[in-house]
């Protein structure tokens, strides 16, 4: 076991990093919102948050998140059931495909549904600016959270519990209602809390599909800070959002603690079986068809719109990205934007990997000694909106050194969102490393640091690779924080897409850029699944 002094030294780096780049900017937002003129102005804050317009934005933020979450749960549970209970050809590939929407940047999701429901829709109607397009896009984006969060737990529930109820004469519906559903409730609540969190802080989807007719707190913070320069109002809205996010994280933490508590769980591979009847095959087929329609249709339409030109099907929109002319000369080359995004993603992956691995070490080594509290604190950046993080950088990082024009600020912002994914990927594997392996290394004369390097690190390498791919996908498509701190010379792919959408005559090129970004993140998603699928136990 590591000494207390060693743990403190390891903890110093992530604590200092998160304090300066996360806690300090958030504290500055609070001060700006509550002390706009250097003195407490609680009445001004109350006036802002009780303003009818602000109340309307807050109410829309809340109810659209509730409805989005309910729809996602209702459509996700059948998928979780099929993947948990049945083996069928293509099961691994199809489950991998359900992850693709989640790792897609929200701006790409918005653009994909703009291609489906926006001007020139192949369906023949325009839903841009309506809440329906927003709700459907949120279901598409968050469906994998329910499928995986509930499904992974469902496939470990001992089927003998359900068999016993059936033996006593209960129908399938009654078994599900009185046996399965109570067992699944913690996993459902935990996954639903995450869906609610992501829809409550939704930015790219609302910005593109809401068409400023429907705005959330997230979008309004961005508008007030960048378009109207109302930093006091933006700060007050950020405080209001932080209150909501904190409440969601508390509910998520409580639900997580109840998952698998005291239940007889089985290894995942032992529960799933091949469908044994025509009815079961029908259930599998119908569910997979629904999932494929939800997941593939927007992506296929997006690709189709990117290939649709005035002359027919062609690659002219992609060619315009390589040789920009006309409207494209007004800002940085799209190819340069791709290079910028890749250039920011690599340091973001490196930073989040180092900070995430050190943080995971503290969480595992400090169980019962503050490790769990530290683990909860690490989740806060995930629950804090990227727009709030970017806004915090804008108002706070001008002292003691002005970092607001530094190129490193963009990968730092991306890393804050990615670190929780690295921690969540590595902590379970570190927890599973048998202490006797470390003890054997210590007995043979290895120092604690060498034992960690030669025992823990090789075993956790796959999990770290998964977390790093998540970090890469997050960085390459991050839009909210980047929109505050990007410069014309450092335009990224999402920023370029947003600018293309705002210019007449460049809709096809925006679709082409979105397809490129989608392809990059899809490769990362398939890499995550490939690494997860190749993991072996025994540690």
Residue with the larger pLDDT of the pair 24 and 489: 24
Residue 260 has pLDDT above 70, yes or no: no
Residue range 315-319: average pLDDT? 82
Instruction: Judge if 298 and 321 occupy the same domain.
Output: no
Instruction: Judge if 405 and 524 occupy the same domain.
Output: yes
Instruction: Judge if 13 and 83 occupy the same domain.
Output: no
Scan for tokens 């062609």, then name that residue.
Answer: 314
Name the domain count of the chain. 2
Whether 348 contacts 492, CB under 8 Å: no
pLDDT in tens, 411-450: 888 888 888 888 877 777 776 665 666 666 666 666 666 6
Among the candidates 305, 335, 366, a domain finishes at 305
With bands split at pLDDT 50, 70 and 90, how would you rate the model's confidence at 67? very high
pLDDT in tens, 173-197: 777 777 777 777 877 887 888 888 8
| Domain region containing 172 | 56-305
- How much is the pLDDT for 53? 78
Among the candidates 305, 330, 349, a domain finishes at 305
The whole-chain average pLDDT of the chain stands at 76
The CATH number given to whatever domain includes residue 293 is 1.10.3720.10
Instruction: Judge if 91 and 116 occupy the same domain.
Output: yes
Instruction: Judge if 203 and 341 occupy the same domain.
Output: no
Residue range 301-318: average pLDDT? 81
Q: Minimal CA–CA distance to 165: which of 157, 419, 430?
A: 157
Does residue 74 sit within a domain? yes
Does residue 46 sit within a domain? no
Instruction: Judge if 436 and 380 occupy the same domain.
Output: yes
Instruction: Judge if 162 and 285 occupy the same domain.
Output: yes
Q: How far apart are CA 457 and CA 441, in angstroms?
A: 13
pTM of the model: 0.75
Lowest mean pLDDT among 7-16, 64-73, 524-533: 524-533
Lowest mean pLDDT among 114-128, 201-215, 345-359, 369-383: 369-383
SS3 letters across 297-340: HHHHHHHHHHHEECCEECCHHHHHHHCCCHHHHHCCCHHHHHHH
Instruction: Judge if 262 and 391 occupy the same domain.
Output: no
Instruction: Judge if 29 and 121 occupy the same domain.
Output: no
Q: Is 227 helix (H, G, I), strand (E, B) or coil?
A: coil
- How much is the pLDDT for 539? 41
């Amino acid at each position: 076991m590591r000494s207390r002094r060693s743990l403190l030294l390891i903890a110093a780096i992530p604590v200092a990093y998160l304090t300066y780049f996360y806690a300090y900017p958030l504290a500055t937002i609070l001060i700006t919102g509550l002390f706009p003129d250097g003195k407490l102005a609680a009445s001004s804050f109350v006036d802002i948050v009780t303003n009818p317009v602000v109340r309307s934005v807050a109410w829309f933020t809340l109810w659209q998140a509730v409805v989005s979450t309910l729809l996602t749960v209702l459509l996700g549970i059948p998928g979780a059931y099929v993947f948990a209970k049945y083996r069928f050809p293509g099961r691994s590939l199809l489950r991998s495909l359900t992850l693709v929407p989640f790792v897609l940047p929200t701006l790409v999701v918005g653009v994909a549904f703009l291609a489906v429901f926006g001007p020139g829709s192949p369906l023949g109607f325009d839903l841009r600016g309506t809440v329906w397009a927003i709700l459907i896009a949120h279901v598409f984006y968050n469906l994998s959270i329910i499928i995986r969060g509930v499904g992974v737990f469902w496939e470990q529930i001992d089927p003998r519990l359900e068999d016993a109820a059936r033996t006593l004469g209960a129908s399938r519906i009654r078994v599900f209602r009185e046996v399965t559903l109570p067992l699944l409730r913690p996993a459902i609540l935990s996954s639903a809390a995450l869906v609610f969190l992501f829809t409550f802080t939704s930015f790219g989807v609302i910005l593109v599909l809401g068409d400023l007719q429907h705005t959330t707190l997230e979008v309004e913070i961005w508008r007030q800070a960048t378009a109207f320069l109302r930093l006091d109002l933006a700060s007050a809205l950020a405080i209001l959002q932080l209150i909501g996010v904190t409440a969601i994280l508390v509910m998520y933490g409580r639900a997580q603690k109840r998952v698998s508590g005291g239940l007889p769980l089985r290894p995942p591979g032992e529960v799933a079986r091949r469908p044994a009847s025509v009815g079961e095959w029908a259930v599998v087929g119908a569910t997979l068809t629904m999932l494929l329609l939800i997941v593939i249709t927007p992506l296929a339409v997006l690709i189709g719109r990117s290939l649709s030109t005035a002359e027919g099907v062609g690659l002219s929109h992609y060619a315009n990205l390589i040789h920009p002319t006309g409207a494209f000369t007004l800002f940085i080359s799209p190819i340069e934007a791709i290079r910028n995004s890749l250039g920011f993603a690599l340091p973001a992956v490196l930073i989040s990997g180092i900070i995430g691995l050190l943080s995971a070490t503290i969480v595992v080594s400090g169980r019962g000694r503050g490790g769990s509290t530290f683990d909860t604190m690490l989740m806060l950046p995930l629950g804090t909106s990227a727009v709030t993080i970017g806004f915090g950088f804008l108002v706070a990082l001008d002292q003691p050194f002005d970092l607001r024009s530094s190129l490193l600020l963009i990968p730092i912002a991306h890393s804050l969102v990615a670190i929780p994914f690295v921690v969540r990927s590595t902590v379970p594997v570190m927890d599973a490393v048998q202490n006797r392996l470390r003890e054997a290394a210590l007995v043979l004369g290895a120092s604690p640091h060498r034992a960690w390097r030669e025992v823990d690190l090789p075993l956790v390498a796959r999990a770290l690779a998964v977390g790093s791919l998540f970090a890469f996908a997050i960085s390459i498509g991050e839009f909210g924080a980047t929109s505050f701190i990007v410069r014309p010379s450092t335009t990224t792919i999402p920023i370029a897409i947003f600018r293309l959408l705002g210019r007449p005559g460049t809709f096809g090129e925006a679709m082409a850029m979105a397809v490129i970004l989608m392809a990059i993140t899809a490769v990362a998603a398939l890499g995550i699944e490939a690494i997860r699928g190749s993991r072996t136990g025994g540690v």
